Amino acid sequence: MTERRPPLDTTPFTLNLDPARLDAPLSWPDIFGDGRPVELEVGSGKGLFLANAGQARPEHNFLGIEISRKYANKAAERIAKLKLANVKMYSGDARLFLARAVPSASLRAVHVYFPDPWWKARHKKRRVFCEPLVADVERCLEPGGELWVATDVEEYYGVIRELVADHPRFEEQSFPAVTAPEHDHDYLTNFERKYRIEGRPIYRALYRLQRGPA
Ligand SMILES: C[S@@+](CC[C@H](N)C(=O)[O-])C[C@H]1O[C@@H](n2cnc3c(N)ncnc32)[C@H](O)[C@@H]1O
């Protein structure tokens, strides 16, 4: 007879917020229980980035935001299996979360990897990378904080670069060299894995936020 595994308790790895509470800025030390720097990922999918980064940088906290509850749950399960106390998942719209809940100058980094391209003209307004998002990332990053981006869509990459260029405090940095994977999970994200295996070009950018005018 096969033994039934007890269900994984994802509660400690999930940020459950009453949507009404989104209107007040959150306290990261209250959420993570310590004052470590916080990195936020927009659109975490199945959570490979959070799993890898959470293990590689235990001195930082990570919050993943994923609009699909199904994927947010999958990511939370992955984090729970690894018992990563410095990583949490939130299921909701990252655009609203950044605009309404994240305190100014409180993030060390924001990561946006392979955002949905929404090809049809009438759907483009659903793109997560838009002018208000860039303005909120600028407000939420601490001076010296970083914005990391990757996409396989050249046209969207151009749009992203133009949006960021309108905010002169973002100074482009060279993106670290991409190395050959050492194992099957040694990729930035699940989509990065898929596209690298398919041999598709990937467009990457890294920006550092300069100090604002005094
Ligand atoms: C193409 S997938 C990429 C997932 C992951 N970043 C990766 O590279 O494997 C884009 C993800 O962004 C999520 N997403 C789309 N709009 C979002 C939003 N407004 N807020 C949070 N997540 C969003 C989607 O549900 C989807 O999981």
Q: Decide whether any atom of ligand 1 lies within 6 Å of the 73 Cβ.
A: no
d(CA 62, CA 66): 13
Residue 72 CA to ligand 1 centre (angstroms): 10
30, 116, 166, 184: the catalytic one is 116
Is residue 192 within 8 Å of 150, Cβ to Cβ? yes
For residue 184, pLDDT beyond 80: yes
Mutating to test ligand 1, I would choose from 40, 41, 48, 66 the residue with most ligand atoms within 8 A of its C-beta, which is: 66
Q: Decide whether any atom of ligand 1 lies within 6 Å of the 191 Cβ.
A: yes
Annotate 151-190 with b (16+ C-beta within 10 A) or e (fewer).
bbbeebbebbeebbeeeeebeeeeeeeeeeeeeeeebbbb
Mention every residue, 6+ apart, whose C-beta is less than 8 A from residue 144.
Answer: 208, 209, 211
Range of weakest confidence among 1-15, 39-53, 192-206? 1-15
Topology of domain 15-209 in CATH is Rossmann fold (3.40.50)
3-class DSSP string for the chain: CCCCCCCCCCHHHECCCCHHHHHCCCCHHHHHCCCCCEEEEECCCCCHHHHHHHHHCCCCEEEEEECCHHHHHHHHHHHHHHCCCCEEEEECCHHHHHHHCCCCCCEEEEEEECCCCCCCHHHHHHCCCCHHHHHHHHHHEEEEEEEEEEECCHHHHHHHHHHHHCCCCEEEECCCCCCCCCCCCCCCCHHHHHHHHHCCCCEEEEEEECCCCC
For residue 1, pLDDT beyond 80: no
The alpha-carbon radius of gyration of the chain (Å, integer) is 17
Q: What are the tokens at 144?
A: 């010296």
How confident is residue 96, by pLDDT bands cut at 50, 70 and 90? very high
pLDDT digits (tens, 9 = 90+) for 20-38: 777 888 999 999 999 999 9
For residue 41, pLDDT beyond 90: yes
Q: Decide whether any atom of ligand 1 lies within 6 Å of the 66 Cβ.
A: yes
How confident is residue 191, by pLDDT bands cut at 50, 70 and 90? very high
How confident is residue 113, by pLDDT bands cut at 50, 70 and 90? very high
For residue 193, pLDDT beyond 80: yes
Is residue 56 within 8 Å of 176, Cβ to Cβ? no
Residue 3 CA to ligand 1 centre (angstroms): 35
Q: Is beta strand 170-173 parallel, antiparallel or unpaired with respect to 141-151?
A: unpaired
Q: Decide whether any atom of ligand 1 lies within 6 Å of the 116 Cβ.
A: yes
The reply to whether 184 belongs to the active site is no
For residue 214, pLDDT beyond 70: no
Nearest CA to ligand 1 atom 14: 43
Which pLDDT score is estimated for 129?
96
